[in-house]
């Protein structure tokens, strides 16, 4: 029988119906399957575990904001491409991205690197009226992070996990194992790793944290008392008196009332328990400082006292910014005017720039607070109002840096002892330059061409620190060698000590070209070693103590140049295996103290290496 067109249509519809029914029956097992869909990790914490199977063993993790390629989704798990194969992650923490090639091209044309495109595309899907501006700071990423990592510039609470806290010189006492407090309340210097996390804008491209990049200026049409009520709900500011004061402050200062309220809640807590606004502090009764302006500890005052001293007018009874702040409303309005004049009008127009000032003439300084998390925290307060009230047009100025890594900076998670410093580092029978100090990480040494191996020993400050790398007996190749000794603290943070060793003629040594391969030990010693007696360096010679008759200083053998041969002669003299003539002693006495010692040896070595 010849089949009609209607027959094929009927069969086609039947087939589609069966497919729908089959899909309905199977929906408990297979939620959805898609070919190479895209997604972004959207966790509430720092990272999401990747497993070898649904509910299987962990094989790694992905940071919040990381982009993933989704192969399929099944029973609440997503199969994704991971490393050189596949992995599984909880579907609850992955946000799918609807392909929008046109918008993605617009973002790239705007100047956003590819690592920004997926999370911004997700935000665009939810908030199509939001505008994202790529603002390149023009600064190198690594240099910017290091500048912000200066001791005391950024802080974290003293009870934070150890990897949040800096162990840099001046921030941490190596011998006592304690941190230096930089503010009342036990705030300590933040680690470079956690600073990098909060400076990397890619970690905050979601509907809450994005608000740290929003313009802070007052806009009467968009910023209302209704919106302010949403910002301050469940806080001490949710009263008519406080909200009226905040709206007046916004109009007089030109700063968003949502920003002002968020600043106050960060400084004084949602319950308003900060001592700066109690009004009952001894010596400062009836004075208030809601934004903690000028509140830092001095030798004679606590941070609270210093802030209230400022609120009172300081030592000259200054009346600028509505002072004295002897009423709650005057303090709120006056502090807002201070902030508007000194920060917003100077280009620090976002919460991010208020915290990390990477623009203008005062880069890395003139920063409103030291709390490294403050911009992100305040951004969340502001997000409450905008996310619940309006989907109006908003503009976000997102900072970019040159030479940023492809992957987001990860939030450190390690805890335990943080001490990743070496207490001693030595090479048997040799002295390298400069003299070893725990905070110095790079050293240099020249050995004769006939020396085929050396022995490197290292001792950590803390028994829980693991020392690895180029320790033990090391075979040397001709020319430049690079020995890397790694100290890994209990909390996982690593510190590398590098010794550049040149084997051959000293005149051929090129310490500007040190990118040779890392050398590995042939025999490893124990991780710890017997501490050697430390040699205290002699004080720098003054003009009065320098030897005026020393001739060519360091040219011990008098051949007109300073070479490794001079170094060997001084070494043997110090060890007592040979003697120097009077003329040789004069030329070897680098610091002019009348004797030949380890300081002279080190200075000759520095001369050979060209180190000042």
Same domain as 599, residue 558: yes
* Spatial separation of the C-alpha atoms in residues 243 and 226, rounded to whole Å: 10
Task: Give the pLDDT score at 394.
Answer: 82
Say which range, 43-52, 165-174, 516-525, 560-569, has the weakest mean pLDDT. Answer: 516-525
| Contact call for residues 593 and 538 (beta carbons, < 8 A) | yes
Neighbours of 505 (CB within 10 A): 12
Q: What is the mean pLDDT of residues 25-39?
A: 47
Q: How far is CA 446 from the centre of its chain?
A: 36
Q: Is residue 158 part of a domain?
A: no
Within 8 A by CB and 6+ apart from 481, the residues are: 474, 500, 501, 502, 503, 516, 519
Same domain as 238, residue 339: yes
Residues 5, 10, 15, 17: is their CA dihedral positive or negative?
Answer: positive
- DSSP-assigned letter for residue 214: B
Same domain as 559, residue 508: no
Task: Give the pLDDT score at 36.
Answer: 56
Same domain as 597, residue 515: no
Task: Give the pLDDT score at 461.
Answer: 92
pLDDT beyond 60 at 287 = yes
Burial 246-267 (b: 16+ CB within 10 A, else e): bbebbeebbbbbbbbbbbbbbb
Q: What is the mean pLDDT of the chain?
A: 84
Task: Supply the DSSP string of 39-73, one letter for each residue.
Answer: EEE--SSSEEEEESSTT--EEEEEETT-EEEEEEE
* Spatial separation of the C-alpha atoms in residues 527 and 469, rounded to whole Å: 10
Q: Is residue 78 part of a domain?
A: yes
CA atoms within 13 A on the CB side of 23: 9
Cα distances from 306 to residues 280, 283, 301, 352, 366, in angstroms, run 15, 11, 6, 26, 18
Q: Is residue 308 part of a domain?
A: yes
Which value, in Å, is the radius of gyration of the alpha carbons in the chain?
Answer: 32
Regarding beta strands 77-82 and 67-74, do their DSSP bridges make them parallel or antiparallel, or are they unpaired? antiparallel
Cα distances from 14 to residues 6, 22, 27, 285, in angstroms, run 12, 12, 20, 83
Q: Kindly report the backbone phi and psi dihedral angles of residue 453, in degrees, each rounded to the nearest multiple of 5, phi listed first.
A: -155, 155
Task: Give the pLDDT score at 609.
Answer: 65
* Spatial separation of the C-alpha atoms in residues 287 and 317, rounded to whole Å: 13
Q: CATH code at 90?
A: 2.30.30.40
* Spatial separation of the C-alpha atoms in residues 55 and 39, rounded to whole Å: 20
pLDDT digits (tens, 9 = 90+) for 105-116: 999 999 999 999
Same domain as 493, residue 437: yes
Same domain as 480, residue 561: no
Q: Is residue 439 part of a domain?
A: yes
* Spatial separation of the C-alpha atoms in residues 129 and 368, rounded to whole Å: 30
Neighbours of 428 (CB within 10 A): 9
* Spatial separation of the C-alpha atoms in residues 300 and 119, rounded to whole Å: 49
CA atoms within 13 A on the CB side of 369: 21
Q: Which among 52, 69, 97 is the end of a domain?
A: 97
What angle (nearest 5°) sits at the alpha carbon of residue 457, between those of residues 453 and 459?
Answer: 170
Same domain as 603, residue 519: no
- List of E strands, 263-406: 394-402
pLDDT digits (tens, 9 = 90+) for 183-236: 767 899 999 999 999 999 999 998 889 999 998 899 888 888 988 998 899 899
pLDDT beyond 60 at 377 = yes
- DSSP-assigned letter for residue 187: E
Same domain as 575, residue 477: no
Q: What is the mean pLDDT of residues 135-148?
A: 97
pLDDT beyond 80 at 465 = yes
Task: Give the pLDDT score at 235.
Answer: 94
pLDDT-derived band at 539, boundaries 50, 70, 90? very low
* Spatial separation of the C-alpha atoms in residues 514 and 592, rounded to whole Å: 33
* Spatial separation of the C-alpha atoms in residues 53 and 68, rounded to whole Å: 16
Q: Is residue 165 part of a domain?
A: no
Same domain as 262, residue 313: yes
- Looking at the 3D structure of the chain, how many domains does it have? 4
Cα distances from 466 to residues 295, 427, 454, 459, 488, in angstroms, run 41, 19, 21, 10, 5
Q: CATH code at 491?
A: 2.60.40
Q: Which among 479, 494, 523 is the end of a domain?
A: 523
* Spatial separation of the C-alpha atoms in residues 296 and 607, rounded to whole Å: 46
State which residues form the domain around 82.
Answer: 31-97
Q: What is the pTM of this model?
A: 0.67
Residue 179: strand, helix, or coil: strand
Q: Is residue 257 part of a domain?
A: yes
Task: Give the pLDDT score at 578.
Answer: 73
Q: Which among 288, 312, 346 is the end of a domain?
A: 346
* Spatial separation of the C-alpha atoms in residues 337 and 328, rounded to whole Å: 14
pLDDT beyond 80 at 575 = no
Within 8 A by CB and 6+ apart from 7, the residues are: none
Residue with tokens 């941490």: 172
Q: Kindly report the backbone phi and psi dihedral angles of residue 376, in degrees, each rounded to the nearest multiple of 5, phi listed first.
A: -65, -40
Q: Which two tokens stand for residue 570?
A: 């001084």
Q: Is residue 2 part of a domain?
A: no
Q: Is residue 258 part of a domain?
A: yes
Same domain as 609, residue 571: yes
Task: Give the pLDDT score at 528.
Answer: 44
**Helix-strand-coil split of the chain, %, nearest 5:** 35, 20, 45
Helices marked H in 59-153 — which ranges?
A: 101-110, 114-126, 141-148
Task: Give the pLDDT score at 543.
Answer: 34
């Amino acid at each position: 029988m010849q089949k009609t067109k209607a027959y094929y249509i009927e069969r086609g519809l039947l087939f589609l119906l069966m497919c729908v029914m089959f899909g309905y029956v199977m929906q408990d097992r297979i939620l959805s399957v898609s070919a190479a869909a895209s997604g972004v990790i959207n966790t509430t914490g720092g990272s999401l575990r990747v497993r070898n199977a649904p509910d299987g063993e962990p094989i790694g993790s992905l940071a919040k904001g990381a982009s993933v390629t989704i192969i399929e989704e099944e029973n609440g798990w997503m199969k994704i491409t991971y490393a050189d194969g596949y992995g599984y992650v909880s579907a609850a923490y992955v946000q799918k991205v609807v392909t929008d090639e046109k918008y993605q091209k617009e973002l790239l044309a705007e100047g956003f690197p590819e690592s920004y495109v997926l999370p911004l595309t997700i935000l665009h899907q939810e908030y199509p009226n939001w505008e994202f501006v790529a603002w390149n700071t023009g600064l190198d990423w690594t240099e910017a992070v290091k500048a912000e990592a200066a001791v005391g510039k950024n802080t974290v609470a003293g009870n934070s996990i150890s990897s949040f806290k800096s162990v840099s010189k001046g921030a941490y006492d190596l011998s006592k194992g304690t941190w230096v407090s930089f503010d009342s309340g036990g705030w300590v210097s933040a680690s470079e790793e956690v600073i990098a996390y909060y400076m990397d804008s890619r970690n905050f491209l979601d509907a809450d944290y994005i608000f740290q990049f929003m313009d802070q200026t007052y806009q009467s049409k968009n910023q209302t008392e209704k919106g302010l009520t949403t910002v301050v709900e469940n806080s001490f500011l949710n009263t008519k008196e406080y909200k009226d004061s905040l709206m007046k402050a916004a109009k007089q200062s030109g700063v968003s009332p949502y920003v002002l309220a968020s600043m106050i809640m960060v400084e004084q807590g949602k319950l308003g328990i900060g001592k700066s606004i109690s009004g009952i502090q001894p010596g400062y009764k009836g004075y208030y400082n809601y934004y903690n302006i000028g509140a830092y500890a001095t030798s004679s005052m606590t941070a609270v006292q210093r802030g209230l001293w400022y609120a009172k007018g300081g030592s000259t009874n200054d009346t600028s910014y509505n002072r004295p702040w002897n009423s709650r409303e005057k303090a709120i309005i006056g502090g807002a005017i201070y902030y508007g004049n000194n920060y917003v009008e100077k280009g620090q127009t976002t919460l991010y720039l208020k915290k990390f000032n990477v623009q203008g003439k005062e880069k890395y300084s003139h920063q409103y607070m030291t709390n490294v998390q403050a911009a992100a925290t305040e951004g969340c307060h502001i997000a409450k109002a905008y996310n619940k009230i309006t989907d109006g047009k908003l503009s976000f100025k997102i900072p970019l840096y040159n030479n940023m890594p492809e992957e987001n900076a990860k939030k450190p998670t390690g805890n335990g002892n943080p001490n990743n410093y070496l207490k001693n580092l030595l090479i048997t029978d040799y002295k390298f330059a400069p003299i070893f100090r725990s905070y110095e990480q790079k050293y240099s040494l020249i050995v004769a061409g006939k020396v085929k191996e050396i022995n490197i020993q290292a001792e950590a400050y803390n028994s829980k620190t693991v020392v690895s790398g180029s320790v033990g007996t090391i075979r040397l190749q001709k020319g430049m060698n690079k020995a890397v000794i790694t100290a890994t603290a209990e909390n996982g943070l690593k510190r590398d000590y590098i010794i550049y060793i040149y084997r051959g003629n000293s005149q051929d040594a090129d310490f500007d070209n040190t990118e040779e391969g890392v050398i590995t030990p042939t025999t490893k010693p124990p991780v710890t070693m017997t501490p050697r007696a430390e040699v205290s360096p002699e004080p720098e010679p003054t003009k009065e103590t320098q030897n005026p008759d020393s001739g060519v200083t360091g040219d011990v053998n008098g051949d007109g140049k300073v070479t490794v041969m001079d170094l060997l002669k001084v070494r043997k003299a110090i060890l007592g295996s040979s003697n120097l003539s009077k003329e040789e002693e004069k030329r070897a006495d680098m610091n002019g103290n009348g004797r030949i010692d380890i300081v002279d040896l080190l200075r000759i070595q520095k001369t050979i290496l060209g180190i000042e």
